[in-house]
Amino acid sequence: MTEPFDAVDIIRTKRDKGTLTAEQIDWTIDAYTRGVVADEQMAALNMAILLNGMSRAEVSRWTAAMIASGDRMDFSALGKPTADKHSTGGVGDKITLALAPLVAVFGVAVPQLSGRGLGHTGGTLDKLEAIPGWRAELGNEELMSQLAGIGAVICAAGAGLAPADKKLYALRDVTGTVESIPLIASSIMSKKIAEGTQALVLDVKVGSGAFMKDEESARELAATMVDLGTGAGVETVALLTNMDTPLGLTAGNAIEVEEAVEVLAGGGPDDVVELTVRLADEMLRAAGVPDADPAAALKDGRAMDVWNRMIEAQGGDPRAKLPVARHSEVVYAPADGVLLQLDALAVGVAAWRLGAGRARKEDPVQAGAGVRLHAKPGAVVRAGEPLMTLLTDTPARFGRAKEALAGAVVIGPEGDRPGQQLIIDRIAAGHG
């Protein structure tokens, strides 16, 4: 067949800071998915987009074209509202584990399609796979049955959702074009809109351990995604949250599951509880259940009941002992004072090097590896006290993990107290 456009002309348009038409965008995504547009051509276009940006209309059409490349899910047969959450990724971010069953307590179905970790950011599926027997892959019938009966599913996304994004993301990863806000926003939102939930809450991380290091770029990403979701008829809101310090006291796989279960049992670190409850509030409000009390559902065991049923439905044993790393090494406080800084990126890289993460998507991960923190910023510490414990099955990894932590800890005089706000802002439709 004769193609209506030429890839080189489209690359030149964006290279020269022009605007792509809806028809050009539709053809580009479709032709790339079919193999008509070559990888090197799409790489050049991605770089032009990274350097010159896209208008909101272009981003919206690009996202719609990626959605159109695959299937769309439909949860209307469930007869109850649906809500989902997406985090842009951080260190110690085990929020999804407790959040999905918590929201399901109130009659809102949560089809949480999640991913695996890459680099210093952990993956929800990797964490859950530390539970003996648990499986991430579900067919559509299993997914719908579990949502109808239990109300919450955390599983891998099917290959049919936005296949153009899968191909595009792999290319961006190896061509230095991951950081483009239009491409990030369309990548996330094409999958989330295709997923078909009526409400979506975005947790956009900002800080050293986040993809977005500064608040201005995080705000731009959040606003772009909120506009995309709202324009597609999905009730969408975003929270900007702090990722200068790891969330909670664990970064790894099994140890993060352990901490999420503590939250479901009514305990757990204050920051994890605070963010879980706030995101649950936002999801429930967006789904039309504004008067729920998620904090009470953590305290009285209702969320734990849903968690146990959800894990069992996917072949897991929620009461089984979690894997434990065979080796550990303690990092001690170098001085007396107040812990002023504990850099999230450094802790994430250390956990990754210990075996909790992967450099390539096909790499295995260690279930028991990671970093257990004994103090967070604001704590008074004494020289020689444990600051963190490094965990791995392969002790040869300790050296490089400790290299990653060089400079991660700042201790100041007693009386100093770092001021860190966990939830920075809320961004809704219209950005008001």
Averaged pLDDT for residues 227-231:
96
Same-domain check for residues 399 and 289: no
Choose among 64, 127, 22, 92: nearest CA to 346.
92
Q: What is the 3-state secondary structure (H, E, C) of 372-417?
A: EECCCCCCEECCCCEEEEEEECCHHHHHHHHHHCCCCEEEECECEC
Is 187 marked active-site? yes
Q: Given 68, 102, 120, which residue is the final one in a domain?
A: 68
Averaged pLDDT for residues 268-285:
98
374 belongs to a structural domain: yes
| Per-residue model confidence (pLDDT) at position 346 | 97
Is 172 marked active-site? yes
| Per-residue model confidence (pLDDT) at position 358 | 80
**3-class secondary-structure state, position 168:** helix
Q: What is the 3-state secondary structure (H, E, C) of 74-105?
A: CCHHHCCCEEEEEECCCCCCCHHHHHHHHHHC
The percent of residues in the chain predicted with pLDDT above 90, rounded, is 87
166 belongs to a structural domain: no
Length of the chain: 432
| Per-residue model confidence (pLDDT) at position 381 | 95
CATH of the domain at 305: 3.40.1030.10
Same-domain check for residues 243 and 304: yes
Is 17 marked active-site? no
Integer Cα distance of 275 and 165 in angstroms: 29
Query: Is the separation of the CB atoms in 116 and 270 below 8 Å?
Result: no
Total domains, the chain: 3
Q: Beta strands of 226-336 (E only): which ranges? A: 235-242, 250-252, 327-332
Same-domain check for residues 46 and 83: no
Catalytic residue among 61, 116, 166, 191: 191
Residue 216 CA: distances (Å) to CA of 108, 221, 345, 347, 425: 33, 9, 19, 24, 12
Identify the burial level of 270 via C-beta atoms within 10 angstroms of its C-beta, where 0-12 means exposed, 13-18 middle and 19 or more buried: exposed
Same-domain check for residues 107 and 54: no
Query: Is the separation of the CB atoms in 197 and 75 below 8 Å?
Result: yes
pLDDT band at 357 (very low <50, low <70, confident <90, very high): confident
Residue 391 CA: distances (Å) to CA of 89, 350, 373, 400: 22, 10, 11, 13
Catalytic residue among 61, 86, 166, 397: 86
| Per-residue model confidence (pLDDT) at position 339 | 94
Taken in order 377, 383, 389, 394, is the CA torsion positive or negative? positive
Averaged pLDDT for residues 271-281:
98
Same-domain check for residues 41 and 90: no
Range of the domain at 131: 76-160+173-319+425-431
Same-domain check for residues 279 and 348: no
pLDDT over 90 at 414, yes or no: no
Choose among 382, 373, 371: nearest CA to 411.
382
Q: Is 333 left (phi over 0), alpha (psi -120 to 50) or beta?
A: beta
**3-class secondary-structure state, position 230:** helix
Catalytic residue among 60, 180, 187, 190: 187
Is 299 marked active-site? no
Integer Cα distance of 373 and 350 in angstroms: 12
CATH of the domain at 15: 1.20.970.10
Averaged pLDDT for residues 57-77:
95
| Per-residue model confidence (pLDDT) at position 120 | 78
- Helix H or strand E segment including 166: helix 163-174
Averaged pLDDT for residues 218-233:
96
Is 214 marked active-site? no
> pLDDT tens across 70-104, in order?
999 999 999 999 999 999 989 999 999 999 999 99
pTM of structure: 0.95
Helix axes 22-34, 39-52, angle to 10 degrees: 140
Integer Cα distance of 266 and 244 in angstroms: 26
Looking up tokens 């802002």 gives 425
User: How much of the chain is helix, strand and coil, in % rounded to 5?
Assistant: 45, 15, 40
Same-domain check for residues 256 and 333: no
Catalytic residue among 14, 167, 172, 397: 172
Both tokens of 342, joined, read 């504990």
Sheet holding 235-242: strands in order across?
Answer: 83-87, 199-206, 235-242, 423-427
| Per-residue model confidence (pLDDT) at position 77 | 93
241 forms beta bridges with: 205, 423
pLDDT over 70 at 403, yes or no: yes
168 belongs to a structural domain: no
Query: Is the separation of the CB atoms in 350 and 402 below 8 Å?
Result: yes
| Per-residue model confidence (pLDDT) at position 432 | 57
CATH of the domain at 337: 3.90.1170.30
Catalytic residue among 26, 165, 244, 271: 165
Average pLDDT score, the chain: 94
Q: Beta strands of 102-178 (E only): which ranges? A: 110-114, 152-156
